[in-house]
Structure 1
Amino acid sequence: MEAKYKHITPRCFVNAPWYELKNRYLDLFLQHGIQPEIGLEGLCLYEESEDEFKKIAHTLKNNRLSCTLHAPFFDLAPGALDPKILDASRNKLRKAARLITIFQPKSMVCHLNFEENKQGYKWNEWLLAASETWQELLGIATEQDCILMLENTYETSPDAHETVLTKLDSENARFCLDVGHLMSFAKTPWQNWLPILSPWLGQLHLHDNNGEKDQHLGLGLGKFDFKGLFDFLAVNNLHPLVTLEPHSEDDLWHALEYLHRTKLLDQV
């Protein structure tokens, strides 16, 4: 990595699915001082031993690298009305939360998983179940001095996040704004979200797309208004954690070059 990026990598995290970090990218992260956001999707929470997680955590610590965790979200329904599905979802999220003790992450990101065209018909029931799920996870995170971040995915407005975060009423329950999901799924601009959710903003997931699908491109390779977003953060004295979410190594270098050229991280 060029020396010009060395002032950027300590100020952000980079998404790293568990098996890819363990089997492919760990040396790259260590060599360049890249801090991972460790993705716990798939079967790793069932297949991997505690010793395997401890081994990577120890390696990161020895190299003075912090991390964040990204809890699983595929196939989960944290506000499910079916008690068996709700129980399975909570059990998997609990498995993720147990790793907070091992990794001591700056945050654990979870997807709120509210979809108006599904759960909107049973809003009150969904809200009760989801709030109980996140309250339990929040308790585990708070005990370990970790922030629980609730990320937007298919939500088309900030309403569900605002309601849940208001109910949780904790400094350790915050909002993670995923800018790529706004463009590809919500089809609404960040200006519809941050004026409302700024009091809870704790983290950004940064990647780019053309507005048609969730491409996870490097910053500046799509259409998102990163300058406008960071200007808003600066004016409002907001200092969220920042995670880059490229889905290829080339897009990672594009993202780092973009941040170097624009100096956007200097504003947060």
Structure 2
Amino acid sequence: MGGWGIGQRRSMFNIPRYDILATDFCLLDSFIMHNSPDPSNPDVNSGFCLLYSAFHLFSYCFISFNPVNFKSMKDRPVFINVPYNMVEKNLHRILHLNVGVEIYFENNMLHDINVEDVRELGRKLEALNIACTVHAPFMDLSPGGYDREVRNITKDKLKKTVQLAGELNAKGVVCHPGYDKWRFDGNETLWLESSIGTWTEVLKEAKKDMPVMVENIFEETPDTLIALLDYFHNKNLWFCFDTGHFNLFSKASIDTWLLPLQKSIREMHLHDNHGTMDEHLPIGRGTFPFRELKSFIKRLHPIIYTIEPHGESAVEESIKNLKEFLS
């Protein structure tokens, strides 16, 4: 597996020392538990059992009394989108930011991923009490496409993503539904019929307690998503509302979108832009009407809120603005 570079990332991320040590204790504990003989086995050398017990007690005491409140992290509704290949090397940073992580699986790497590596990442996240969701690949994919081969490739990638999300014990999987009026020439029925076949197969791969969500992208109105979600009512297909995409493409009001879909919402992607390109700015830096959204959120059941910053400089401001927005 290679080393985790214990304590070496402090200067890179400017993280307090107790965060580094707490992270390392959790990761070492996970490593010992999953890569050493079972200490409960009577055939195991008693010296190892004593060493493990002493380490576990020390790490538990350290984590219990240091300022990082691990138990609160899974209750945090704020998540940050991070590509899969960047998650492990940024565990210290994620821990310090006190957020969950939405793991993005990119198209070309998906089928080269080692499932055991994903399981191990899931164990590390669990050891650190960092909750996760998953964002499925989307480039060139079309769940409701006309071409059968394109749909089959799409189904394979989405099913694989859902399987990996299960290995991570993810709280949900966000997918792009793929409708826009230009590519489908306004033929919503064609898209819907093809979509039903795709999502029927994809949902079979999902655990019952892991929602699969479709996110608004190019839709000008919520009509196609309402039709799709109505078909899969009570069948584990849900909605993720993206504020940036709404600001770019919607020709309907927020209420027109959110009132009929409010019972289906399980996540929101919260970022801003000026209505001309998908800038992924921190809340308040563009023209999206967040004041209207906040009044809606106040009467909404608890959901996950995710930021998708497109640059390192925007990370902390995005988190700060989102937490202030939710307070």
TM-score by length of 1: 0.88
Deviation of 1:49 (Å): 0.9
Aligned to 1:72: 137
Aligned to 1:227: 291
Unaligned 5+ segments in structure 1 are none
SS in 1 for 2:82: strand
Number of residue pairs aligned between Structure 1 and Structure 2:
261
Aligned to 2:52: none
CA–CA separation in structure 2 for the residues paired with 1:16 and 1:213: 21
**1:59-80 Cα deviation digits (max 9, x unpaired):** 1111011100111111101112
Deviation of 1:85 (Å): 1.1
**Which of structures 1 and 2 has the larger relative contact order (alpha carbons within 8 angstroms, sep 6+)?**
1
Deviation of 1:215 (Å): 0.5
CA–CA separation in structure 1 for the residues paired with 2:322 and 2:228: 32
Native 8 Å contact 2:79 2:102 kept in 1: yes
Deviation of 1:105 (Å): 0.9
Q: CA RMSD in A?
A: 2.4
Aligned to 2:258: 194
SS in 1 for 2:278: coil
Please show how residues 25-64 of structure 1 align to structure 2 within 5 Å. Answer: 25-64=90-129
Distance 1:232 1:221, change over 3 A: same
SS in 2 for 1:222: coil
Deviation of 1:94 (Å): 1.1
Aligned to 1:103: 168
Corresponding residue to 2:156 among 86, 91, 95: 91
Deviation of 1:144 (Å): 4.4
Aligned to 1:265: 326
Corresponding residue to 2:316 among 225, 234, 253: 253
Deviation of 1:227 (Å): 2.5
Aligned to 2:45: none
Aligned to 1:207: 271
Distance 1:230 1:40, change over 3 A: same
CA–CA separation in structure 1 for the residues paired with 2:284 and 2:225: 27
Deviation of 1:156 (Å): 0.8
Deviation of 1:135 (Å): 1.9
Corresponding residue to 2:78 among 12, 37, 61: 12
Aligned to 1:218: 282
SS in 2 for 1:118: coil
Deviation of 1:137 (Å): 1.8
SS in 1 for 2:219: coil
CA–CA separation in structure 1 for the residues paired with 2:151 and 2:215: 19
**1:107-163 Cα deviation digits (max 9, x unpaired):** 11011111112224443232111011112222322x342011110001111000000
- State the one-letter code of the partner of 2:131: S
**1:90-117 Cα deviation digits (max 9, x unpaired):** 1111110111221111111011111112
SS in 1 for 2:205: helix
Aligned to 1:135: 200
CA–CA separation in structure 2 for the residues paired with 1:52 and 1:258: 34
**Range 236-245 or range 143-152, more displaced:** 236-245
CA–CA separation in structure 2 for the residues paired with 1:65 and 1:173: 24
CA–CA separation in structure 2 for the residues paired with 1:215 and 1:188: 21
